[in-house]
Structure 1
Amino acid sequence: MAMMWSATEREPGPPEEGDSASPAGQAPAAPEGLPWSAGCASGVGSLPDLDPVEAARYVLGEVPDLPFLPELPARGVGADMIGRTCAVLADLPVDLQPSGWRLVPRPGLDLRRARDLLERDLDAFTEAAAGYTGPIKVAVGGPWTLASTVELPRGHKALVDAGATRDLAEGLAEGLSSHLTDLARRVPGARLVVQLDEPALPAVLAGRIRTPSGFSVLRAVEEGPATERLAAVLTTATAVGAVIAAGVHCCARDVPIGLLRQAGARFVGLDATLLTRDQDDAVGEAVEAGMGLMLGLVPTSAGVGQDLSDPRRTVAVAVDLWRRLGFRPELLGEVVAVTPTCGLAHATVADARAVLRHCRLAARVLVESPQ
């Protein structure tokens, strides 16, 4: 685990008017260390079509500071992010319809397949991680992405029904708790880091989720309820004894960083290449509140593995952001973990390997020469 750090220690400068965070000139108490060591790299979660055992061994070797439970969606039904998350849900059976996953009265073949695939992944990771001690990142779909994707029995998005949305969040929290407990039992030395994947969250808040017909959009969800649902799932996850941190990943534009901070996320993962200067204040406030940043700095587009030659150029986005915020350079490599900009499910195996290897090199640059 990273050493104690005080993210509020910016470059020396005159105090700002009305700043009461540091009375009598004293620095605020440093928050606890983040769930990764300085110079850490990791993946978002998905990988190309690999054998589960091969994938598990690969992530344990390629990103040893923060390996992750691999997602392998190329295997088909039930291996995608939503299918895998539905496999975790407690007491909420689903089935795959032509329009997508739908809540149904009783479990069917598609859900059994999703659960079987997840069980195989856990078995493979248990075998590969025998004797491992350290952090492991576990990702599942978040409650709002789930509600904007899964349909009610009659075919509308669960997002239109407040009761269904609540039930999905509660079922996710309960099922995730059991999932984490199971993984902790399988790998006794693991310290689990939970990642809620919320790619649809900005669209949920902005009222951009389309109805099944595609002719209209669903009403925007207010920030209060959105925060409460996320907070409930994050709190339940962190209550599991082996869990050391829980956060949220969103690779879309306009990530609601302030909302995630209010929900209690320990870290936020995002595509750093999509950040704008308008988000600087939100990023700075998150870091000052003790949140870590999983910054997607390495592109995942097809064929990119042939173009990864200069890790210093790769981290320039993070370095420029840090300079604008005015934080001490030596904190950059502690607060920021380097990841790909998004998942690697659609990359070739060779490109996926090159991307994760480059993440590790880029993370090292942040520690050795952040400026």
Structure 2
Amino acid sequence: MSGVRATGIGSFPGTEQRDLDEALAVVLGEVAGDERGIAYVPEVPGRGAAAAMVGRTLGLVGELDADLQPGGWRLTGSAGAPPVDQRRARSLLAQDLDAVEEGAVGHAGAFKTQLTGPWTLAATAERPRGDKLLADHGARRELAQALAVAVTDHVADLRRRLPSASSLVVQLDEPALPAVLAAGIPTASGFGKHRTVHPPEASEALEWVLGAIRDAGATPWVHCCAPGVPIGLLRGAGASGVMLDLGLLDADGHDAAAEALEAGDTIALGVVPTTGELPGAKAVIERVLRWLDMLGLDPEVVGGGLVVTPACGLAGSTPQDARRATELVRSVARSLAGQA
């Protein structure tokens, strides 16, 4: 299976800045150090809301101001200097990118960064008057357009910091997307659910952001480690790669993943568990090969589009298990590629 690659979802355990440094050492040592590895910007969300996925992304969205409330992030609707919480998120990400730039000098392989997608942002952040942005058609449209601008600037910043990288991948994290499509997001009161967002609108917002990534010269992927990943919708909106948890796929998901691989797109298959005891490399390899056989896919044909990853982020693991999971992913990819 020539061409099989390895990467991570992004997050690592820890609560302090030194934990980010340790996570970066793992990424640069275990992933960037392998020719089949796709290195990435590590995340340590345990450092606080400003370091978690929503805060990191809102820190980059310069066209909208946001502050931190007891219930989470909220757009302020005010003009002027960004609120202090948003400035802190922006500063913390800049520090992380400084560390990446320093540690990855001369890195010539692919490099990935992660941002929260427009629908998970809309389902998480609140509008100024309360309730989620998801409740306001105009607000969620404005958010997606502002994110498209932000991602363009982010890619340019990464290209400046990593001039030797062969390619850049931007991963949009959309864990809430299936619930958004199925009217599964609770309202502020908790007694009801937000109305469903229909596929054409969901696709349009994703198209703006994924198109901005592509126009900036990077490759757009979408990650969703929830049941019911709408693989066809994501590909139709412009995602060149879809990252998912193999254990959560239903029959339709298996078929859609197979179609993506046959079409030459990327499927990043989450096969290394993030909780419990880690399996051996042999068991993971056999699981991947059984899956391909079940779908009737020729491993030699699809190998170039297959990426192996942990099932989801590693923030809930111990530092030791996070390192072992990263090592296991690398070992599995090399073995599947016939290079072990």
TM-score range, shorter chain: over 0.9
Check conservation: 2:241, 2:268, Cα contact below 8 A: yes
Alignment correspondent of 1:39: 4
Distance 1:77 1:261 in 2: 30
Alignment correspondent of 1:66: 38
Find the partner of 2:291 among 321, 341, 345: 321
Alignment correspondent of 2:337: 367
Distance 2:311 2:254 in 1: 18
Please tell me whether Structure 1 or Structure 2 has the larger radius of gyration of its CA atoms.
Answer: 1
- 1:368 is displaced (CA, Å) by 2.5
Alignment correspondent of 2:310: 340
Aligned to 1:319, the other structure's residue is in SS state helix
- 1:366 is displaced (CA, Å) by 2.0
Alignment correspondent of 1:12: none
| Cα-to-partner distance string for 1:191-236 (whole Å, 9 max, x where unaligned) | 2111000000000000000011211000000001111111110110
Alignment correspondent of 1:119: 94
TM-score scaled to structure 2, two decimals? 0.92
More helix by share: 2
Matches within 5 A, 1:261-340: 261-301=235-275, 303-304=276-277, 307-308=278-279, 310-340=280-310
Alignment correspondent of 1:55: 23
- 1:333 is displaced (CA, Å) by 3.2
Check conservation: 1:135, 1:192, Cα contact below 8 A: yes
Alignment correspondent of 2:174: 198
State the percentage of identical aligned residues.
49
Paired AA for residue 296 in structure 2: G
- 1:311 is displaced (CA, Å) by 1.4
1:145 aligns with 2:115: no
- 1:111 is displaced (CA, Å) by 0.8
Alignment correspondent of 1:235: 211
Distance 1:350 1:281 in 2: 35
Alignment correspondent of 2:186: 210
| Cα-to-partner distance string for 1:32-60 (whole Å, 9 max, x where unaligned) | xxxxx823111101111244333323201
| Cα-to-partner distance string for 1:169-198 (whole Å, 9 max, x where unaligned) | 011110111011011101111221110000
Find the partner of 1:154 among 96, 119, 129: 129
Alignment correspondent of 2:202: 226
Distance 2:116 2:319 in 1: 24
1:80 aligns with 2:52: yes
Distance 2:163 2:338 in 1: 33
Check conservation: 1:332, 1:367, Cα contact below 8 A: no
Aligned to 2:73, the other structure's residue is in SS state strand
> Structure 2: which 5+ residue stretches go unaligned?
none
- 1:281 is displaced (CA, Å) by 2.2
Find the partner of 1:167 among 121, 142, 152: 142
Check conservation: 1:322, 1:332, Cα contact below 8 A: no
Check conservation: 1:330, 1:367, Cα contact below 8 A: no
TM-score scaled to structure 1, two decimals? 0.85
- 1:365 is displaced (CA, Å) by 2.7
- 1:332 is displaced (CA, Å) by 4.3
| Cα-to-partner distance string for 1:287-311 (whole Å, 9 max, x where unaligned) | 222211100000001x53xx43x21
Check conservation: 2:272, 2:310, Cα contact below 8 A: yes
| Cα-to-partner distance string for 1:298-331 (whole Å, 9 max, x where unaligned) | 0001x53xx43x2121133322221122221213
Check conservation: 1:53, 1:128, Cα contact below 8 A: no
Find the partner of 1:131 among 56, 81, 106: 106
Paired AA for residue 100 in structure 2: F
Check conservation: 1:52, 1:125, Cα contact below 8 A: no
Distance 2:271 2:285 in 1: 7
Paired AA for residue 139 in structure 1: Q
- 1:344 is displaced (CA, Å) by 0.7
Distance 2:291 2:48 in 1: 39
Distance 1:354 1:360 in 2: 10
Aligned to 2:8, the other structure's residue is in SS state coil
More displaced 10-residue stretch of structure 1: 280-289 or 261-270: 280-289
- 1:131 is displaced (CA, Å) by 1.5
Aligned to 1:252, the other structure's residue is in SS state coil
